[in-house]
């Protein structure tokens, strides 16, 4: 057996995982030496933000409840002003990828330490990747400064996650692992995490569509999301993420739903050029054709399956194509104009 040469750079991250992990929030902020903590959330997560504030006690200096999808620069400016006025030295992000993304923007802009308390399966809390949207364009980058210092994974906080959000958030997480398996900077470590993350989510998500409050399935899904997010944080993104970033920024599409729609189509496009990734996914999904298995899983879960369902107009596809080709990401299969047109057509119509 030949062991390949590779580089794997572990990311500095403290993870607290398990039911009731939220209860250690004060201890984790104390461990980091934080004294003035701003709690971030979306408007819909205000009750959980208030719980976090109570746990922090006098360490909490306020709640900013304005996190928004795709991290608009105007939202970042408002949150940065709130952090400045409160003289915050750190922030706690309670919620999904939108809130964690806002926390990362504050880390980048104001140097705040971030503690993440994920309530979905987005995986952003595991990556040094940041994103900002301005004038219908989403800009992304990598910077160690935005990586959360600690992540509290509490499956109890996901028990009430609605089934549609559970499904699309979980498929979003799986997309991170799928792309990591054929990334040019992958490694055996990442491949092992990716395969297990897909396996965990593929097993848990069907259970959660039938029994959303199943605690074991919730824990398994959250573990899978953690592993998939860690893969994304350690590798280069490909065509799938480029398409989703353009679709999200240009057309203001919902993040997780867009990933859920695109996953089977891009997998079908790329996996013939990535045999090792295809083999790993075949094992994880227990299927001979992983792309078809992902499509069947999305059907079983009731996820959206076409861009048209998300409100994309057919005339929008050419703008998406041009933006993707203008600044392509690394990908195992070269992408030309005609192939990208065909892929987008399939994703729009469901053929």
Residue 139 inside a domain? The answer is: yes
Distances (CA, A) of 313 to 56, 258, 319: 46, 14, 11
Per-residue pLDDT at 106 exceeds 80: yes
* 134 shares its domain with 231: no
Statement to judge: residues 284 and 145 lie in one domain: no
**Residue 8: inside a domain, yes or no?**
no
Query: Do both 109 and 225 map to the same domain?
Result: no
pLDDT for residue 9: 82
Domain boundary pick from 113, 130, 158: 158
d(CA 148, CA 128): 8
Last residue of a domain, one of 158, 182, 202: 158
Percent of the chain with pLDDT over 90: 90
127 in a structural domain: yes
Number of structural domains found in the chain? 2
Cβ(303)–Cβ(254) below 8 Å: no
Is residue 277 included in any domain, yes or no? yes
Q: Are residues 139 and 239 in the same domain?
A: no
Q: What is the model's pLDDT at position 42? A: 97
Predicted confidence at residue 148, as pLDDT, reads 97
- Split at pLDDT 50, 70, 90, the class of 36 is very high
Tell whether pTM > 0.85. Answer: yes
Q: What's the pLDDT at 139? A: 87
Check residue 137 and give its pLDDT.
83
Token representation of residue 299: 């059907």
pLDDT confidence tier of residue 12, bands split at 50, 70 and 90: confident
Q: Are residues 103 and 152 in the same domain?
A: yes
CATH number at residue 134: 3.40.50.1970
**Exposure pattern of 316-333 as b/e (b: 16+ CB <10 Å)?**
bbeebbebbeeeebebbe
Decide: helix, strand or coil at residue 67.
Answer: coil
CA angle 210, 310, 74 (to 5 degrees): 110
pLDDT at 241 over 90: yes
**DSSP tag of 153:** E
Residue 225 included in any domain? yes
Same domain flag for 116 and 209: no
Asked if the model's pLDDT at residue 301 lies above 80, the reply is yes
Can you tell me which residue has the tokens 């080709």?
A: 325
**pLDDT of residue 140 exceeding 90:** no
Of the chain, the end-to-end C-alpha distance in Å amounts to 41
> pLDDT digits over 189-220, tens only?
999 999 999 999 999 999 999 999 999 999 99
118 and 215 share a domain? no
Query: 10 Å Cβ neighbour count for 185?
Result: 14
Whether residues 267 and 141 fall in one domain:
no
Domain that holds residue 153: 14-158
18 in the Ramachandran plot: left (φ > 0), alpha (ψ -120 to 50) or beta? left
46 DSSP assignment = H
Q: Tell me, what CATH number does 202's domain have?
A: 1.20.1090.10
| pLDDT tens digits, 169-197 | 999 999 999 999 999 999 999 999 999 99
Considering the domain architecture, whether residues 213 and 140 belong to the same structural domain is answered as no
pLDDT at 52 over 90: yes
pLDDT at 3 over 80: no
Query: What Å distances lie between residue 218 and 16, 120, 152, 205, 215, CA to CA?
Result: 16, 10, 15, 9, 5
Q: What is the DSSP letter of 3?
A: P
CA distance 316 to 322: 10
Q: Which of 128, 158, 188 is the last residue of a domain?
A: 158
Write out 193-253 in H/E/C secondary structure.
Answer: HHHHHHHHHHHHHHHHHHCCCCHHHHHHHHHHHHHHHHHHHHCCCCHHHHHHHHHHHHHCC
The helix/strand/coil state of 134 is: strand
Q: Is residue 107 part of a domain?
A: yes
**φ, ψ for residue 131, nearest 5 deg:** -145, 145
Decide if 37 is inside a domain: yes
Residue 9 within any structural domain of the chain: no
Same-domain check for residues 141 and 258: no
Number of Cβ within a 10 Å radius of residue 69? 18
**pLDDT tops 80 at residue 1:** no
* 134 lies in the same domain as 168: no
Contacts made by residues 250-254, CB under 8 angstroms, sequence distance 24+? 250/136, 250/137, 250/138, 250/316, 250/319, 250/320, 250/323, 251/136, 251/311, 251/312, 251/316, 251/320, 252/69, 252/70, 252/136, 253/310, 253/311, 253/312, 254/69, 254/168, 254/310
Asked if 81 and 172 sit in the same domain, the reply is no
> pLDDT tens for residues 307-347?
999 999 999 999 999 999 999 999 999 999 999 999 999 99
Q: Which residues 6+ apart lie within 8 Å of 254 measured at CB?
A: 69, 168, 248, 310
Whole-number Å distance between alpha carbons of 349 and 330: 26
Rounded to whole angstroms, the Cα distance separating 336 from 156 reads 45
């Amino acid at each position: 057996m030949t062991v390949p040469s590779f580089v794997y750079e572990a990311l500095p991250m403290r993870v607290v995982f398990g039911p009731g992990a939220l209860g250690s929030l004060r201890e984790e902020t104390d461990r980091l030496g934080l004294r003035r903590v701003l709690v971030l959330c979306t408007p819909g997560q205000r009750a959980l933000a208030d719980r976090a504030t109570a746990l922090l006690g006098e360490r909490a200096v306020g709640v900013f409840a304005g996190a928004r999808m795709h991290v608009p620069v105007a939202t970042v400016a408002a949150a940065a002003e709130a952090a400045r006025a409160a003289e915050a030295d750190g922030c706690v992000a309670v919620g999904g990828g939108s809130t964690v993304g806002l926390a990362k923007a504050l880390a980048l802009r104001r140097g705040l330490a971030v503690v993440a308390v994920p309530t979905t399966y987005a995986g952003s809390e595991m990556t040094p990747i940041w994103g900002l949207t301005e004038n219908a364009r989403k800009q992304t980058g990598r910077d160690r400064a935005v990586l959360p210092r600690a992540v509290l994974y509490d499956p109890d906080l996901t028990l009430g996650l609605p089934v549609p959000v559970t499904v699309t958030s979980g498929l979003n997480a799986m997309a991170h692992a799928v792309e990591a398996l054929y990334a040019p900077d992958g490694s055996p470590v990442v491949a092992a995490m990716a395969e297990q993350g897909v396996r965990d989510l593929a097993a848990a998500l069907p259970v959660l569509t039938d029994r959303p409050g199943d605690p074991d399935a919730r824990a398994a899904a959250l573990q899978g999301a953690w592993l998939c997010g860690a893969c994304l944080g350690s590798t280069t993104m490909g065509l799938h993420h480029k398409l989703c970033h353009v679709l999200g920024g240009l057309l203001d599409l919902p993040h997780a739903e867009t990933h859920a729609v695109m996953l089977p189509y891009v997998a079908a496009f790329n996996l013939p050029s990535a045999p090792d990734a295809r083999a790993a996914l075949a094992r994880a999904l227990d299927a001979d054709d992983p792309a078809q298995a992902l499509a069947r899983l999305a059907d079983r879960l009731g996820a959206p399956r076409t861009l048209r369902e998300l409100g994309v107009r057919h005339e929008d596809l050419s703008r998406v194509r041009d933006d993707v080709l203008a600044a392509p990401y690394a990908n195992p299969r070269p992408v030309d104009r005609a192939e990208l047109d065909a892929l987008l057509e399939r994703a729009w119509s469901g053929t």
